[in-house]
Chains A and B, each alone.
Chain A
Amino acid sequence: MLKVHRDICGYCGCCVSVCQEGALELIDAYLSVEKNCTSCGVCAKVCPLGALEVVHEE
């Protein structure tokens, strides 16, 4: 699953623009992740700050 490190996130929306699924949305200063997120990790790659991380569940 996708984890948002909210202490790092600068809520800029860079990640939202590359999400094919439309699973991310920037609601003012809050990045929301919808259920249709496939944990593809594209957003984590492009994040200018490194605020997103795909966490693999054990």
Chain B
Amino acid sequence: MKNKYDVLVIGGGPAGAIAAKTAVEKGLSACIVEKRPAIGAPVRCAEGIGKEALLEFIEPDPRWISAEMTGAGIVAPDGFFMKLESAMAGSKVGYVLDRKFFDRELVWKAAEAGADVAVKSRATAPIMENGVVKGAKIEAGGKVTNVHATVVIAADGVESKFSKWCGIDTTVPVREIMSSVQYVMTDIDIDPSSTIFYLGNEVAPEGYLWVFPKGKRTANVGIGISGKKSGEGHRAKDYLDRFVKKTFPHGKTIEFSPGGVSVCRPLPCTVADGLIIAGDAARVVDPLTGGGIYNGMFTGKLAAETAADCIGKGDLSKKALMAYDKEWRASKMGKAIERNYHIKEYLIKQPDTKLNEIIHSVSKLDLSEFSTLNLIKEIIRVNPKLVLELGALAASLR
């Protein structure tokens, strides 16, 4: 680690790794600082990603793909099963990654391209000059070093602190944090090529429970419930344990990880003078699915591209960096977040009877394009009444 970089990236997850790689490819110097001693571990993720989304960034490699998905299923509160498949039977629609190796691969690629990497190195404060972010104090091995940077990219995840220290309120509302727990379970009977989502207020209030296969008899079995619904005796772990006892009584848990996933709207502004915020730290997780890998990589790349542009022009003001904020909001990803936020807000207000009704309307869907948008469109097509309930939102879905 040097004392000065063009771009200092806080956080070595997918957003930070892609940001650093993009920055060095644009001819800038860049360094990733990761507070944990290892990249990729511990995994705090259900690890699912759509096929097209992944391909936009990297060629799939068996070293970090746990399983290939050909379909998905939704289990209604009353147990009814809705099967979702690609219109092209048997074709791949997504992957369940092995994030320990995936994250490492992304950081390797950044390092290979020329980025510096520092692990067990934690940003403890921004370096500010006249209200402008000029780098960060980095603590490693008990020693604090001032690392100056032309731009800092904060990609420090759901537990992000860096932007807060720079004066930006990143607090997630209690009702919009998904309080989560996941077990990696083995020796369980599953469909090894479908992700399964369980819905219902008894199963996962204002959230969902997932079974994402990682092999023939192995899966990520996890749950997220609204922070509002969490409390003593009815926490995420209580719900998950109840499900596991009933569904996989003989399964073996080989990994345990709690977590938090934000399903709020993104930060109202994701830049400041000398600072760009990317990934989970910017609260760009998809509020409907809780997916954040693609959105992290997308904003990470865009953050570095904007940084390169602005460094080229010699203007790192908030006003100049706003190009990043505007661009991701106008992107397909930004629009999907806004749309899915409204759909989430609608769905969490529905009683189980309504969810049953919606899911019962289709027992099997062959989706021409395997996406949540297409799923919603199909559901609305067979439930014309929903158009009225969704109001203005329905128009944006056509």
B235 touches A16 (CB 8 A): no
Among B37, B122, B170, B237, the residue within 8 A (CB) of A50 is B237
Contact indicator A17/B171 (Cβ below 8 Å): yes
Partner among A17, A26, A50 whose Cβ is within 8 Å of the Cβ of B177: A17
Closest to B169 in A: A20
Q: How far is the CA of A26 from the CA of B281 in the complex (A)?
A: 14
With a cutoff of 8 Å between Cβ atoms, the chain A residues found around residue B165 in the complex are: 22
Q: Decide: A46 and B36 in contact? CB cutoff 8 A.
A: no
The interface residues of chain A lying within 8 Å CB-to-CB of B161 are: 16, 22, 25
| Residues on the B chain within 8 Å of A48, using CB | 179-181, 230, 235-237, 258-260
CB-defined contacts of A16 to chain B, threshold 8 Å: 158-159, 161, 260
Per-residue A-contact encoding for B152-168, CB less than 8 Å = 1, 0 else = 00000111110011000
Chain B, 179-231, CB within 8 A of any chain A CB: 179-181, 227, 230-231
B127 contacts the other chain (CB 8 A) = no
Which residue in A20, A28, A45 is a CB contact (below 8 Å) of B36?
Answer: A28
> Any chain B CB within 8 A of the CB of A12?
yes
- A1 CB-CB contact with B under 8 Å: no
> With A12-B259, A28-B37 as given contacts, are A42 and B174 in contact (CB-CB < 8 Å)?
yes
A20 to B172, CA, bound (A): 8
Q: For the complex, give the distance between the alpha carbons of A30 and B262 in Å.
A: 21
- 13 CB < 8 A contacts A-B: A12-B257, A15-B260, A17-B160, A17-B171, A27-B35, A28-B36, A28-B37, A46-B179, A46-B260, A47-B235, A47-B258, A48-B230, A50-B237
Nearest first, the 4 closest Cβ-Cβ pairs linking A and B are: A14-B260, A13-B159, A46-B227, A48-B236
